[in-house]
Amino acid sequence: MASLVRMARNLFSSSFYSHLLKDRAVAQPATKAIQNAVSQPLSVVRNNITQQIKSKLRSEKQLFFTSSASLFKGYNFRNRRLPVTKAREAYATQNTAVELALNSVVKVFTVSCSPNYLLPWQNKSQRETMGSGFVILGRKILTNAHVVADHTFVLVRKHGCPTKYRAEVKAVGHECDLAILTIESEEFWDGMNPLELGDVPFLQDAVAVVGYPQGGDNISVTKGVVSRVEPTQYVHGASQLMAIQIDAAINPGNSGGPAIMSNKVAGVAFQNLSGAENIGYIIPVPVIKHFISGVEENGKYIGFCSLGLSCQTTENVHLRNHFSMRPDKTGVIVSKINPLSDAYKILKKDDIILSFDGVLLANDGTVPFRNRERITFDHLVSMKKPNEKAIVRVLRDGQEHEFSIILQPIQPLVPVHQFDKLPSYYIFAGLVFVPLTQPYLHEYGEDWYNTSPRRLCERALRELPKKANQQLVILSQVLMDDINAGYERLAELQVLKVNGTEIDNLKHLRQLVQSCNAEFLRIDLDDERVIVLNYEMAKCATSSILKRHRIPSSVSIDLDTE
């Protein structure tokens, strides 16, 4: 008998039958069928047990069919009722997503050409990429910024249509990884329907990601549920903004496609978690609306606001006592303030931010968000519009103060990305000067943090600007010639002064070099290094060096037109 029971359990090892056999009312007829089937074939035993289970459940009206051939898995035996399950919601969401996607979601074909930052007068090889997008109000197509980054040519194809239509990139927000495309062809818009933006989904809400992932050419729908909502690192723009984590696979090609909940867009698919399975991220509607409204109000993308602060949590009790924080007060300590921010004129180091626009900050820097969720207060800052004021309450020397601070997008001293623009450079006597950017450091490979010059890397990640339009200018390389012999080992050092004058940026360096009226040109570098050239001889050598290395111009277009 024990062997027959084990045999029956092996036969019905699926999740459905395992749940049924745990219920006594269902297990008894199954056991009886086993006892009466000692000499019967295996297939007959299985059929008899199945019929006994079905008969028992029908008599108690506890059986629910999802189709004529399958049993519904969400039966609740304890409460003896049929709840509306996540499976049914996901199924309905997927069907709705398919219907909406057929006349809204498009495939985006991009031809791009990225610059070579080590040889800034050259471009890298042309490459072709594909992504997804969808139609929104105003005859626009919304997609990801990384789908069209460094584009030279963009085409769009509708579902079920063999024709590709030329598209123009109207606006790009690399921080939020969003872009807007426009198409002039009237033929393209025939039959196309815009999708409506919805709200931020709650945990365990079902969504369907629609797009054109790799592995095929037709439209694809992947279903999943929301597992987390919190600020996340946007890989493309290296910014920290709100994102929604879902358990649906988001593969290359899915980028830019909508995540649909019911009949509205819950977000835009844009990245996945490397090294993990079925962990994808979508850009939520608040970030999308902030991007679109900014483009509509200003005619171009202007960025997300920042307080310009670096803060430390106050979770340690001794730290709170040192700053005279009463037990009923919570907040974070101001560590650094960007000199270009409005907060630099108002706040001080060691100020403790207690609240932002009336919302209390916890000691870990989070604020309440929806139903018992928490989110970092940076989200409240990023959702403010440029030039909008925020009320910040701080604790300073044991006394509370309330300040009004104007918020603005703040650019770092060393740009994090340089998409859709050519790099700047200036060449004099074979000395190649460029502004320091993170894309320049990325040329050292995937492990650039460890392989790039350590001093430049640290400054790129931590140093703050002291004035507007400031750049860190470096001597990237030396194109060898008699005029610069002996200076080749001074590459990758920061340029500090030209003829005793501190430089502000690459444009300023060029002006100082061109306006030199002395016999010798002196360039002071980092690490107390110095370069001295005979100015007239250096000017003559520059043209021959350019010709030898087939460099079309000694200066980049952006500097030559200013």
Distance CA 405, CA 411 (A): 18
What is the identity of the amino acid at 201? P
Q: Give the alpha-carbon dihedral of 105, 107, 111, 114, to 10 degrees.
A: 60
Yes or no: say if 229 and 284 are a contact pair by the CB < 8 Å rule: yes
Q: Give the alpha-carbon dihedral of 550, 554, 559, 562, to 10 degrees.
A: -110
CATH architecture of 205-298: Beta Barrel (2.40)
Question: Where are the domains positioned within the chain?
Answer: 98-188, 205-298, 309-407, 426-559
Alpha helices in 346-400 (DSSP H): 378-382
Look at the block and give the residue holding tokens 């950017």.
437
Tell me whether the CATH fold assigned to 98-188 matches the one assigned to 309-407.
no
* Residues annotated as catalytic (active site), given as ranges: 146, 177, 255
Distance CA 432, CA 387 (A): 39
Query: Degrees (nearest 5) of the Cα angle 424, 516, 440?
Result: 20
Contacts 24+ apart (CB under 8 A), 184-190: 187/163, 188/156, 188/158, 189/139
Yes or no: say if 505 and 435 are a contact pair by the CB < 8 Å rule: yes
* Predicted TM-score (pTM) of this structure: 0.78
Query: Degrees (nearest 5) of the Cα angle 169, 175, 176?
Result: 75
pLDDT of 70: 38
User: Which of 221, 225, 226 minimizes the C-alpha distance to 244?
Assistant: 226
Domain 426-559 is found in CATH 3.20.190.20: yes
CATH of 309-407, one of 3.20.20.140, 2.30.42.10, 2.40.50.100, 3.40.50.300: 2.30.42.10
Tokens of 346: 């108002």
Tally Cβ neighbours within 10 Å of residue 394. 19
pLDDT tens track of the chain, all 562 residues? 444 445 444 544 444 444 444 444 445 555 555 555 544 555 555 566 566 655 655 544 443 333 333 333 443 434 434 344 555 555 555 566 677 788 899 999 999 999 999 999 999 999 999 999 999 999 999 999 999 999 999 999 999 889 999 999 999 999 999 999 999 999 999 989 999 999 999 988 999 999 999 888 888 888 889 999 989 999 998 889 999 999 887 888 889 999 998 889 999 999 988 777 778 999 999 999 999 999 998 888 888 999 999 999 999 999 999 999 999 999 999 999 999 999 999 999 999 999 999 999 999 999 998 878 899 999 999 999 899 999 999 999 989 999 999 999 988 999 998 898 889 999 999 999 999 999 999 999 889 989 999 999 999 988 999 998 999 999 999 999 999 999 999 999 999 999 999 999 999 999 999 999 999 999 999 999 999 999 999 999 999 999 999 999 999 998 876 5
Coil/strand/helix, residue 34: helix
Tokens of 303: 């960025």
Coil/strand/helix, residue 10: helix
Tokens of 25: 């009312």
> At the topology level of CATH, where does 98-188 sit?
Thrombin, subunit H (2.40.10)
Coil/strand/helix, residue 538: helix
What is the identity of the amino acid at 419? F
User: Which of 500, 528, 494 minimizes the C-alpha distance to 516?
Assistant: 500
Q: Per-residue DSSP letters for 358-416?
A: TEEPPTTSEEEETTTEEEETHHHHHTSPTT-EEEEEEEETTEEEEEEEE-B----SS-S
